[in-house]
Amino acid sequence: MAVRECDVLIVGGGPSGVTLGLFLAAAGVSTIIAEKEQAIYPLPRGAHIDHEIVRILQNVGVAEDVMATSRTGGRYEFLTADRQILLSFDWTAPGASGWPYSNMIHQPSLEAALRSRLAGCPDAVLQAEWTFVSMETASQGVSAHFATPAGPETVRARFIVGADGARSPVREAAGIAIDDLGFDEPWLVVDTIVHDPARLPDRNLQVCDPARPTTCVMMGNGRHRWEFMIRPGERSEDVLDDAFIADLLRPWDVEGAVTLERKAVYRFHARLAKQWRLGPVLLAGDAAHQMPPFAGQGMCSGMRDAANLWWKLVEVIQSGADDRLLDAYQAEREPNVRGIVDMAILMGRTVCVTDPEAAAARDSAMLADRAAGRSPDAQAGYPPISAGRILGGSAGAGGYFPQPWSNDQPALRLDDVTGPGPMLFSRSGTVPAGNSGLRVMELADPSITFAKSALEDWLVRHDADAVLVRPDHYVFGSGDPARLIAAWQP
């Protein structure tokens, strides 16, 4: 048995692992993705991605494919049992990323687009039916062992990324503990094929009915989802019965408008791994964090991990940066994920109230807040980066950098012009980038005329001559261009 070698070994060919593999392959990093299954996970999971994730898909070359089967999310409402509005979020405006703020998708279609893109990458390979069994780690790297249909395989790599889902055998093998944040609710998820969209809600709903908390959301084109909280004493095999599901759907009056496509029972959890890096071992996606799906952010968070991690790995592997740079990964990502998990738990606790008195108290408090204009109703902001590879103290550092776009058909977006690396946008003429690895662009550059006024606005608002934007579109820092270039050196 030959030992295979690569720079980065990713265990898990879900959305986090394949997105990371695509970024690394595009940068020329040799990557193996080992996936225990042959097929993409077929049961109901992600139905929503936010605008930042579409930008990530754009960056790995699959946004058009995914958007072709998705639709914008519109409004997201929390209702009482008798359909009074407790909360109503308007998610119809475009996000700062240049893509619709909220997008309803079909996770297997999104994963298929990622995998088909990967098939064309010479530097990354997905090995299906490779089951991670064990590993030995040393300061210089890792040897990982797999069971495959052709017998055992070993891969030696500089880094191993456990993108192997909630149970994460890599996390287990590394001995990394996971904190349980105390959410644990059983739900039935039902996906349907739509025949008559006019008979379905045109918005995403959480019906906070203590008799049966229920989610009703749009998905990618031609599909619609319901989720039903499972009551004490109900067994999985009973609630998965088609006749039981038909009874649950009856109040929605959708007989003939939809047919059942797939169904599953899940326990919704909230958990965070204590360490996201241990020597050559890194964790990404559900392996590092799990959250209940009420904010539609689990997969989104895993794809943000990939966007955060790839360029740090590239700097260490290709540019000889100190591998302590990888410690910034958890420092940067964990507060963002924690903020999102807290939001998902809050939404979940609002919905999953089954005691009628508690539900009545919740309803009257939330209705009063809404009547007084105290309810949140806009796009959610996610916590910015507050520590790690940013120039602390400079205006805008750690915030999300927008992507200006043109209204041409097809639309031209800033990242399509600039490409994947770190960028310095300057309004004070050409600045030598030295060996910083940065691409420097003057605002006067004719290729970004469509973006000039938006970039200028950003610089004026932050009182800066230049802004240095990291490859994941978070701001490293702003201010004097020469100072930014010097500070960016690893």
Ligand X SMILES: Cc1cc2nc3c(=O)[nH]c(=O)nc-3n(C[C@H](O)[C@H](O)[C@H](O)COP(=O)(O)OP(=O)(O)OC[C@H]3O[C@@H](n4cnc5c(N)ncnc54)[C@H](O)[C@@H]3O)c2cc1C
Q: Map the footprint of ligand X across residues 281-340, applying CB under 6 A.
A: 285-286, 293, 296-300, 302
Distance of alpha carbon 318 from alpha carbon 13, whole angstroms? 24
Distance of alpha carbon 275 from alpha carbon 81, whole angstroms? 41
Distance of alpha carbon 315 from alpha carbon 229, whole angstroms? 46
Compute the least distance from the CB of residue 166 to ligand X, in Å.
Answer: 6
CA neighbor of 419 nearest in space, from 466, 375, 378, 473 = 473
Burial status of residue 397 (CB atoms within 10 A of its CB: 0-12, 13-18, 19 or more): buried
73 binds ligand X (CB under 6 A): no
477 and 391 Cβ atoms separated by less than 8 Å? yes
77 binds ligand X (CB under 6 A): no
C-beta closer to ligand X: residue 340 or 475: 340
382 binds ligand X (CB under 6 A): no
45 binds ligand X (CB under 6 A): yes
Concatenated DSSP letters of 364-395: HHHHHHHHTT-S--SPPPPPPP-SSSS-TTST
Query: How far from chain centre, in Å, is Cα 252?
Result: 31
C-beta closer to ligand X: residue 124 or 366: 124
Pairing of strands 281-283, 277-278: antiparallel
C-beta closer to ligand X: residue 160 or 424: 160
Which residue in 7, 52, 164, 209 binds ligand X (CB under 6 A)? 164
Residues in contact with ligand X, shown as a per-residue x/- string from 185 to 204 under the rule CB under 6 A: ----x---------------
173 binds ligand X (CB under 6 A): no
404 binds ligand X (CB under 6 A): no
Q: Map the footprint of ligand X across residues 109-148, applying CB under 6 A.
A: 131-132
Number of residues that bind ligand X (CB under 6 A): 36
Token duo for residue 23: 């970024």
Helices 107-119 + 15-26 axis angle, to 10? 30
Quickly tell me which residue has 């009257």 as its tokens.
364
Stretch that binds ligand X, among 28-36, 193-201, 232-240, 437-445 (CB under 6 A): 28-36
Pairing of strands 204-208, 75-80: parallel
Stretch that binds ligand X, among 34-42, 83-91, 356-364, 475-483 (CB under 6 A): 34-42
163 binds ligand X (CB under 6 A): yes
6 binds ligand X (CB under 6 A): no
Which residue in 23, 78, 89, 266 binds ligand X (CB under 6 A)? 266
C-beta closer to ligand X: residue 131 or 406: 131
* 178-194, strands of its sheet edge to edge: 85-90, 75-80, 204-208, 214-218, 223-229, 178-194, 258-273, 289-290
422 binds ligand X (CB under 6 A): no
Interface residue list for ligand X (CB under 6 A): 11-17, 34-37, 41, 44-49, 107, 131-132, 163-165, 169, 189, 266, 285-286, 293, 296-300, 302
